Amino acid sequence: MIKIEKLHKSYPIGKDSLHVLKGLDLHIKEGEFVAIMGSSGSGKSTLLNIVGLLDEHDSGNYYLNGQLIEKLDEKKAAILRNKFLGFVFQSFNLINYKTAVENVALPLYYQGIGRKERHDIAMQYLRKVGLEDWANHLPSEMSGGQKQRVAIARALVTKPKVVLADEPTGALDSTTSEAVMEMLKEINREGMTVFVITHEEDIAEQTDRIVRLKDGVIISDELTNNKATV
């Protein structure tokens, strides 16, 4: 599903550059539930942004669903994102002036789906995350956990093949984090590939595989007990 070979990425800093990813090799198969761990600044978000077609790598190969990703203009990247990927971020990234159901329906608008159908599908996904009764509320009227559930519904509404989550529990208390992790587990049980960034060991341990990043390289890549005992 995601195949990365010798991936490098630097950011220009004045006339210098900061070498963040230093030759990563990573293969994530369809249906896997993978956590990427590493301390702050280790390049986790950089990697996820490249995987999510939000940023470009400098060298190496990246294949998404078998397709070599190179020289994508923004329009092509947007089409691939809409078709294959769902995103969940630490800060939720909901649109503040749109209601929960409008936020969830938005990706369907970009797929050219009509208003009524968009609304119906979005309601179905809000129901799935237990927020049917909150459909007409604005994000400002919801708790952090509720906002993240709206964001998860929005990530799922296009039936992506991969869900990418960047510190999805980073802004939540432990009970709410637990609920969000349960939701990601369920998504994965339904067959979706889930790739989650975290720096919390107890979050990572709930996935099936932990990849550790340090100083721009992968220092370990191991299955967790969950996988070993299934």
Q: State the nearest-atom distance from the C-beta of 40 to ligand ADP, in Å.
A: 4
Residue 198 interacts, among ligand ADP, Mg ion, none and using kind-specific CB cut-offs from 5 to 8 Å, with none
Name the residue nearer to ligand ADP (CB basis): 11 or 110: 11
Residue 43 interacts, among Mg ion, ligand ADP, none and using kind-specific CB cut-offs from 5 to 8 Å, with ligand ADP
User: Restricting to residues 40-69, which ones interact with ligand ADP according to CB under 6 A?
Assistant: 40-46
Contact at 8 Å (CB) between 40 and 199? Answer: yes
Chain centroid to CA 1: how far? 14
Start-end of H helices in the chain: 44-51, 74-84, 100-109, 115-128, 144-156, 174-189, 201-204, 225-229
Parallel/antiparallel/unpaired status of strands 193-197 and 16-28 = unpaired
**What Å distances lie between residue 187 and 53, 67, 70, 128, 129, CA to CA?**
21, 24, 29, 11, 11
Contact at 8 Å (CB) between 188 and 194? Answer: yes
Residue 114 interacts, among Mg ion, ligand ADP, none and using kind-specific CB cut-offs from 5 to 8 Å, with none
Name the residue nearer to Mg ion (CB basis): 45 or 158: 45
Q: State the nearest-atom distance from the C-beta of 61 to ligand ADP, in Å.
A: 20
Q: Which residues contact 175 (CB under 8 A, 6 or more apart)?
A: none
Which one of residues 1, 4, 20, 122 is an interface residue with ligand ADP (CB under 6 A)?
A: 20
198 in contact with ligand ADP (CB under 6 A): no
Contact at 8 Å (CB) between 28 and 83? Answer: no
Three-class secondary structure of residue 3 per DSSP = strand
Site string for Mg ion, 20-49 (x = CB under 5 A): ------------------------xx----
Q: What is the C-alpha end-to-end distance of the chain, expressed in Å?
A: 22
Return the range that interacts with ligand ADP (CB under 6 A); candidates 39-47, 71-79, 116-124, 154-162.
39-47
Residue 46 interacts, among ligand ADP, Mg ion, none and using kind-specific CB cut-offs from 5 to 8 Å, with ligand ADP
In the complex, the residues that contact Mg ion under the rule CB under 5 A are 44-45
Q: Which residues bind ligand ADP (CB under 6 A)?
A: 11, 18, 20, 38, 40-46
